[in-house]
Amino acid sequence: MRKLGSVGVVAVAGSLLTLAIGAWTRQPPALAGATITGKVKFTGTKPVMPKIDMSEEPKCKAKYTAAPPTEETVVVNPNGTLANVFVYVKSGLPASYKAPAPSGPVTLDQDGCRYHPHAFGIMVGQNLAIKNSDGILHNIKAKGTKNRPFNISQPTTMTSTRTFSAPEVMVPLECNVHGWMHAWLGVLPHPFYGVSGADGSFSITGLPPGTYTVEAWHEKYGTQTATVTVSGSETKTADFSFAGK
């Protein structure tokens, strides 16, 4: 068990740090082109998210000192916007459009027995670095249907890397040890996607001129689309609004 203990922790912490710095420094510069930005509003009754009982995992439970953790199916921001909405260009790019996958990975962190981020995008062929910061047993299962599904075990602090070969919106990710852990991954052949954040805004940059169908996807409230025409380096706004049921 020594290997899984101190030696492993040190080795993995080191490699994670390297990875993290690598990912951070390798962020591509803002591309020239048009931008689509907007906010995702939320109307109606905000659903009450169930509290998560983490008593089986004291290490995770200890990370929530302010308030007990809740499920993240619907996260309504203080300004009345909806977080974790995946917004992406669904169609409108020329058939000849080709974008190479960035060399840096997208990192999914398992921290406090929750996924960070909860909804996110990746390009076909780009590395997904699946990181276990908790150091307790997680399994990460990707349940794609256009991509091959996989299920790998991470019983210690470690990082596993996988790629996705086909566009798919969305690939559900889950942990079966902790039934409340869910994340959603949008796999696209281009880099034109964003996720609504803590202020409900998103932004898609570097678009070539054209008329695009932009889709906003939410795990509970489904999808909405907007048609946006952009040219040059202009910025256009596309707001979306989801209603609580």
Partner 1 sequence: MTSRVMLCLTLFGAAGITPLTAHRLPLTAQDTVKGKAVYVKWCAGCHGDTGAGDGAAATAMLPRPRNFTGAVYKIRTTASGQLPTDADLMRAIDEGLPGSAMPAWKTRLSPAERRDVIAYIKTFSSFFADTSQHVVPLRFGKEPGGGVGAQAVKTGRLFYDSIGCRKCHGDQGRGDGPSAPTLKDDAGFPIFAADLHQSWRFRGGGGTEDIYRRLRTGLDGTPMPSFSDLIDQKFLTDEELWRLAQYVRSLSPAREPEVRDVIHAPQLGATLPASPNDTTWARVDRYWFPLVGQVIRKPRWFAPTVSGVWVQAVHNGRELALRLCWDDRTQSPDTAWLAFERRVLETVASDDSTPPVAGLWPDQVAVQFPRHIPDGMERPYFLMGTGTDPVYQWRWSSEPRKAVAGLARGLEQFDTLSAAPESRAVWDHGEWRVVFTRSLATPDTANELQFVAGRAIPVAFFAWDGSNGEHGSRLAASTWYFLALDQPTPPRVFISPVVAMALTLGLGFMVVWRAQRRAAGSRGTGAGT
* Nearest alpha carbon to residue 224 among 196, 187, 190: 196
**Is residue 46 at the binding interface for partner 1, with CB under 8 A as the rule?**
no
Q: Is 148 in the site for partner 1 (CB under 8 A)?
A: yes
Which position has the token pair 């596993």? Answer: 160
| Cα–Cα distance measured from residue 225 to residue 227, given in angstroms and rounded to the nearest whole number | 7
What is the smallest separation between the CB atom of 177 and partner 1, expressed in angstroms? 5
Shortest distance, position 180 Cβ to partner 1, whole Å: 9
Q: Does 151 bind partner 1 (CB under 8 A)?
A: yes
Closest separation between CB of residue 208 and partner 1, Å? 28
Residue 176 · residue 152 · CB < 8 Å:
no
CB 52 within 8 A of CB 60: no
In the β-sheet with 86-91, what is the strand arrangement from edge to edge?
193-195, 86-91, 210-218, 222-230
Of 49 and 226, the one with the shorter C-beta distance to partner 1 is: 49
Q: For residues 38 and 62, what is the distance between their CA atoms, to the nearest angstrom?
A: 36
Out of 153, 205, 223, 241, point to the residue binding partner 1 (CB under 8 A). 153
User: Footprint of partner 1 on residues 116-145 (CB under 8 A)?
Assistant: 136-137, 139-143, 145
Residues that bind partner 1 (CB under 8 A): 1, 3-4, 8, 56, 136-137, 139-143, 145, 148-156, 158, 160, 162, 165, 176-179
